[in-house]
């Protein structure tokens, strides 16, 4: 478990699971948290319970959406606490972002190369987790998350902070021209060196490589979030399949990690 402790003093916990420490076997070994990847159902549920035990929250708090690589944001109320923890059918429908102002709801999303984004306005008590693949990124999932936090939950742009978690890095993420063309409108106002740090040709193969984490960072900053409060993980899920599941490196048959965030009743002791 990786835990980012940036917001602990405000009673907000943020984390990302690694792939070890669970019950799943073979290509899903071992802490697979995705119900949609043909793993044994009971193993996934027990893995989810293990994750909650490790965090120290009740399993009933764990809440998931049915992710579709889109930009829909679902604001989670207390009556929806625990949705999706047992079945995909019960998950919050067709959402890639979960936002709440409530305490003790474990907002959870699953990943295997896509970018986990976390946002918080600790003064307003608003938290969010977003799932950002390339489609969601270029469609503006970060922008839509921040819009909903502000317009529906009372957050203020100048108070919002962000964390960008482990995902496939620019070192490993080869993309075709279709993806490159979709990315370019977001880079129009950046200098040449910054653009090249986000999308560039490999010196070895001449194939295009995309750094989705840095692209999301630039998008978040362009919205008006201060660069000083945007943290970016250096971990590449494709480089380190001993620690992480990677859809790209493992050719599609692999498990899923979870990115999670929760507001607690009290300040977190570190």
Q: In the chain, what are the domain boundaries?
A: 2-167+232-263
For the chain, the residue count is 270
Q: What is the mean pLDDT of residues 163-169?
A: 98
Lowest-pLDDT range of 23-32, 91-100, 157-166, 192-201 = 192-201
The predicted-structure confidence for 7-47, as pLDDT tens digits, reads as follows 999 999 999 999 999 999 999 999 999 999 999 999 999 99
pLDDT at 242 over 80: yes
Looking at residue 230, its pLDDT comes to 98
Lowest-pLDDT range, 138-142, 249-253, 262-266?
262-266
- Going by their DSSP bridges, the two strands 208-210 and 230-232 should be labelled as unpaired
Rounded CA-CA distance 39/27 in Å is 9
* Fold entry, domain 2-167+232-263: 3.60.140
The per-residue pLDDT for 205 is 67
The pLDDT, as a whole number, for residue 265 is 72
Rounded mean pLDDT, 94-118: 98
Average pLDDT, the chain: 96
Calpha distance 259→267 (Å, rounded): 20
Tell me: the pLDDT tens digits for 46-71? 999 999 999 999 999 999 999 999 99
CB 104 within 8 A of CB 76: no
User: Across residues 114-126, what is the average pLDDT?
Assistant: 98
Q: Reply yes or no on whether the pLDDT at 163 is more than 70.
A: yes
Report pLDDT for 267. 57
Question: Average pLDDT in the 234-253 region?
Answer: 98
pLDDT at 79 over 90: yes
Q: How far apart are CA 259 and CA 223, in angstroms?
A: 23
The pLDDT score that the predictor gives to residue 86 is: 98
Residue 106: pLDDT band with limits 50, 70, 90: very high
pLDDT score for 228: 98
70 or 204: whose pLDDT is higher? 70
The average pLDDT across 181-201 equals: 94
Residue 99 burial (CB count, 10 A): 24
Mean per-residue pLDDT for 82-93?
98
**Angle ∠(232,208,256) on CA atoms, nearest 5:** 50
């Amino acid at each position: 478990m990786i835990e980012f402790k940036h917001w602990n003093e405000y009673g907000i916990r943020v984390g990302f699971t690694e792939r070890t420490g669970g019950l799943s076997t073979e290509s899903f070994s071992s802490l697979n948290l995705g119900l949609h990847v043909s793993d044994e159902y009971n193993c996934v549920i027990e893995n989810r319970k293990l994750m909650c035990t490790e965090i120290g929250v009740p399993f009933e708090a764990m809440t998931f959406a049915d992710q579709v690589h889109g930009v829909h944001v679902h604001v989670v109320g207390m009556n929806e606490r625990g949705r999706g923890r047992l079945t995909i059918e019960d998950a919050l429908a067709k959402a890639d972002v979960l936002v709440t102002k409530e305490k003790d709801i474990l907002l959870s999303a699953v990943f295997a190369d896509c970018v986990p984004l976390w946002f918080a306005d600790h003064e307003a008590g608003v938290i969010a987790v977003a799932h950002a693949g390339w489609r969601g990124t270029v469609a503006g999932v970060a922008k839509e998350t921040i819009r909903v936090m502000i317009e529906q939950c009372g957050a203020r742009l100048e108070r919002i902070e962000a964390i960008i978690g482990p995902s496939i890095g620019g070192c490993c993420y080869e993309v075709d021209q279709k993806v490159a063309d979709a990315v370019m409108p977001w880079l129009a106002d950046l200098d040449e060196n910054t653009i090249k740090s986000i999308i560039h040709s490999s010196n070895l193969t001449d194939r295009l490589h995309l750094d989705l984490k840095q692209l999301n960072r630039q998008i978040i900053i362009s919205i008006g979030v201060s660069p000083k409060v945007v943290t970016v993980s250096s971990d590449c899920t494709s480089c380190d399949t001993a620690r992480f599941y990677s859809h790209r490196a493992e050719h599609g048959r692999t498990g899923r990690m979870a990115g999670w965030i929760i507001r607690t009743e009290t300040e977190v002791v570190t």
